[in-house]
Amino acid sequence: MRSLLSIMIVVGAILGMVPAALAGQTSGPISVGSGVTYEFLTRWDVEKLNHILTTDTPAFSGVPVTYSPARNAVKLYRVTYPSVVPELGNRPITATGLIAVPDIEGSAFPMVSYQHGTVYGKQEVPSFPDQSPETQLMIAQFAGQGYVLIGADYFGMGLSPEPQGYLVKGSHQQATFDMLTASRAVLADLKLHDTKLFLAGWSQGGFVTLAMLEKLEASNIPVQATATASAPADAFATFEGFLVFPRRNDAEWITTIFILTAFSYESYYGVPGLARALFTAETYDNIHKAYLGEPFDAKAIPTDLHKLIRPEFFDPQVFANSAFGRLVAQTQAYRWVIKTPVRTYYGLSDEAIRTELGRLPMTWQQAMGNNKVEAVSTGETSHRGTFAKAVPAWKSWFDAQ
């Protein structure tokens, strides 16, 4: 009978010949250099992916949509990578994201970088896919059909110790840019590579997607096509609309968008007192705790902007001239000469993004004579419904590129 030592030696020799990717499924984080590491999370089989498409997503979105069934299983990895915060003098930080790899033969796959929408929980992000229904849909629809899918958690989310940087454009650009670089390093370690790069994002992620495209084009990194759903491409138009021109169907959760943005801007742009000047005294302490992720009273957060925002900010001139308003006015992601084909999907019954806002990037580009951006209606869809209906349209369009 062979000794335990000899068995261990043989096993060790065998493991030494196993690719890092396979060994990494049980051995913890794998370093690929330059501070980038990745670790195997789990494998989702075809049955699970199709359950997401047929059951979980309709429950999340509230609308029935027919998706292309998954054809292959998917391996999920969490990526940890170094980055910097541009708004804070390029202060070094660590960020996280997800990479989903088709579990099929082959070494070359098209890649989709997906930018997630607004979330309140720190782990409701791509690298914690069980907590992110939107990421689950993207994994099932794209990675389940032979695409590599990646997604940054954004600064302050996932395992990042930073405060959330909501709608902080430079940080969003840096997080997604560095996640792309890190993902390609991980793919190389897995003996894989991407053939074409596509970008996609919903809601906040639609803004981030356009901002990412701007940075990639400026860096001469080719993007095959870009698609968004319910994207607030112009933050000033978005916020001013809620304050001055409210609609009957404006979402009750819009107040939380103001909360996340104001505290993020105070933190990332270094403007002490910005949030305190904007919010009513009776709500400030509770909503500050909510932003910080500390225990707070959810029932005490107003759903009426007039109970959250100080009265003077409903005057357009006051808002525009305030510290918050000036920063919001700089937060846009469509005012450059776009070279990549872009489609912005919008819903006619979206409770967060007006039809005109969904069409704005196309209108602005067309004002110059540029026809690279096309706005596409998903019909009478809500905010989530717009996303649910846009995803299969993204897939068909990307497949044709």
Q: Tens digits of per-residue pLDDT, 71-112? A: 999 999 999 999 999 999 999 999 999 999 999 999 999 999
Q: The tokens 């000033």 sit on which residue?
A: 236
Q: Tens digits of per-residue pLDDT, 236-274? A: 999 999 999 999 999 999 999 999 999 999 999 999 999
pLDDT of residue 25: 55
pLDDT of residue 19: 43
Beta strands 193-202 and 108-115 are: parallel
C-beta separation of 371 from 166 below 8 A: no
pLDDT of residue 216: 98
Find the helix packing angle between 169-189 and 204-218, rounded to 10°. 70
pLDDT of residue 82: 98
Q: What are the beta bridge partners of residue 108?
A: 193
Helices (H) and strands (E) in the chain, counts: 16, 10
Beta strands 108-115 and 91-102 are: unpaired
Structure tokens at 3: 């000794």
Mean pLDDT of successive 10-residue stretches along the chain, which has 401 residues = 36 39 62 97 98 97 96 98 98 98 97 96 96 98 98 97 96 98 98 98 98 98 98 98 96 96 98 98 97 94 97 98 98 98 98 98 98 98 98 98 96
pTM for the full predicted model: 0.93
Structure tokens at 216: 């990639």
pLDDT of residue 285: 97
Chain-centroid distance, C-alpha 378: 20
Report d(CA 245, CA 248) in Å as an integer. Answer: 10
DSSP 164-200: P-TT-HHHHHHHHHHHHHHHHHHHHHTT-EEEEEEEE
Q: Tens digits of per-residue pLDDT, 316-339? A: 999 999 999 999 999 999 999 999
CB atoms within 10 A of CB 11: 10
